[in-house]
Amino acid sequence: MNKRLIAGVIAAASCGYLLWQYFTPVEVVAVHDGNTILVRHFPYLKSRQIAWWEENKDMIQAKYGIPEGYDSYYYIYLMDFGNGYRTEPNESLLFWTDEVFCFNDIKTDARCIDRKPLFTVRWSKNNGLEYESY
């Protein structure tokens, strides 16, 4: 009886978490460099990621101007906003390192985020539309 109760609680908690993940809307936090979108609560499944992009690409184009005037190709990167902006590590003088990604369009010290790519949308005349999930 005790094992069934524990299994039931674990199953209910797992189902509750999955439902919460499914119904939590994606939040667009910021847009940088004309091609990088920072988001929270992005779907885990590639099919849901593509569906979210297809549903919201017109809104993103209208509100943020992404992709901006393109002739033969464009890249759009969606990255996890995670814990927010942070300062660049002192040991690196580079624009980015493996653990952080920094934005030049922010003029404060806290202009970097933890490097967590989620999804890339690419379009070119030669290859058409391509999606990549990480």
**pLDDT tens-digit profile of 9-42?**
899 898 888 788 777 889 999 999 888 999 999 9
CB-CB contact of 49 with 119 (8 Å): yes
Query: What mean pLDDT do residues 29-58 have?
Result: 91
Neighbour order of strands in the sheet with 110-114: 86-87, 110-114, 100-102
Assess whether pLDDT exceeds 80 at residue 60.
yes
**pTM score:** 0.79
> If pLDDT is split at 50, 70 and 90, which confidence band does 108 have?
confident
Give dist(CA 102, CA 92) in Å, integer. Answer: 12
> If pLDDT is split at 50, 70 and 90, which confidence band does 1 have?
low
Assess whether pLDDT exceeds 60 at residue 110.
yes
Query: What mean pLDDT do residues 97-125 have?
Result: 85
Closest by Cα among 109, 117, 114, 122 to 133: 117
Q: Which residues pair with 122 in a beta bridge?
A: 75, 130
For residues 113 and 92, the model is more confident at 113
Determine if the peptide bond prior to 89 is cis (ω within 30°).
no
Neighbour order of strands in the sheet with 27-32: 27-32, 36-40, 73-80, 117-124, 128-133
Instruction: Please report where in the chains the tokens 């624009």 appear, as a residue.
Output: 95
